[in-house]
C-alpha cells in the first residue's frame, strides 16, 4: 500500500538516489545532481500553484519510505490530462505504480472532471505500459522519434484512458 502526499521541494534528497537505474526510462532528461532535481521540483511546484499540475511523492503507507513520484498535468477547460510516474528500481514489480496511477486517475476524472488522460512511455518499456493498462489505459499509437532524450530521438507509445471507460482504483490521495 502507498500514500500519495503533495510533492515538496524538500523531497529532492530522498528522490534523487532513486533515479539511479531508472533515469533512462524517463521521457524527460533526468537531473544530473540533487540541486538540479531541487530546481526541477521548484518548477513543478510553480505549475501546481498555477493550477495546471497535481504532483505527489509516492511513499510506503506503513514505512513512510519515499518510493518515487507521480504527476498529472491538466487542462480542465479542455478536459485533458497527461500523467507521468516513476519509481525507484527496488520498488518495481510490486504494484505500487499501478496503485498510484489508479489514485491519480480518480483525482483527474473525479475532482478535475477530465475526460481523457494520456501517458507517454518509451517503446519497449513493458512494465510501465502494463501498470497503465492495469488501470484501463489503451495503446493508441507509437510516435516515431516522438521525444529527444539526452540528444537521441526515441520512439514513444501513447496510451490513454477515458472517463467513461471506468478506469482508476479506489483510494485516498
Structural domain spans, the chain: 2-165
In the CATH scheme, what is the code of domain 2-165?
Answer: 3.40.630.30
Residues in CB range of 104: below 8 A, 6 or more apart: 4, 54, 56, 70, 72, 83, 85, 173
What ranges make up the beta strands (E) of 47-130? 53-60, 66-75, 80-87, 116-122
Residue-wise over 39-71: b if at least 16 C-beta within 10 A, else e? ebbeebbeeeeeeebbbbbbbeeeeeebbbbbb
Give the pLDDT of the chain (173 residues) as one tens digit per residue. 999 999 998 999 999 999 877 766 665 667 788 898 899 899 999 999 999 999 999 999 999 999 999 999 999 999 999 999 999 999 999 999 999 999 999 999 999 999 999 999 999 999 999 999 999 999 999 999 999 888 889 999 999 999 987 544 433 33
**What burial class does residue 4 get, using C-beta atoms within 10 Å of its C-beta: 0-12 exposed, 13-18 middle, 19+ buried?**
buried
Q: How much is the pLDDT for 19? A: 86
Amino acid at each position: 500500500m502507498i500514500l500519495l502526499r503533495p510533492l515538496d521541494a524538500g523531497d529532492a534528497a530522498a528522490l534523487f538516489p532513486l533515479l539511479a537505474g531508472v533515469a533512462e526510462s524517463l521521457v524527460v532528461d533526468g537531473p544530473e545532481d540533487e540541486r538540479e532535481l531541487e530546481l526541477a521540483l521548484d518548477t513543478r511546484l510553480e505549475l501546481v500553484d498555477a493550477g495546471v499540475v497535481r504532483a505527489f511523492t509516492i511513499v510506503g503507507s506503513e514505512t513512510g519510505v519515499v518510493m518515487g513520484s507521480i504527476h498529472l498535468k491538466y487542462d480542465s477547460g479542455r478536459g485533458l490530462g497527461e500523467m507521468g510516474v516513476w519509481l525507484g528500481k527496488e520498488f518495481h514489480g510490486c504494484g505500487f505504480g499501478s496503485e498510484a496511477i489508479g489514485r491519480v486517475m480518480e483525482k483527474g476524472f473525479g475532482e478535475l472532471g477530465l475526460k481523457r488522460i494520456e501517458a507517454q512511455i518509451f517503446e519497449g518499456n513493458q512494465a510501465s505500459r502494463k501498470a497503465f493498462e492495469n488501470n484501463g489505459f489503451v495503446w493508441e499509437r507509437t510516435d516515431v522519434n516522438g521525444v529527444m532524450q539526452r540528444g537521441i530521438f526515441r520512439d514513444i507509445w501513447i496510451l490513454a484512458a477515458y472517463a467513461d471507460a471506468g478506469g482508476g482504483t479506489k483510494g485516498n490521495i
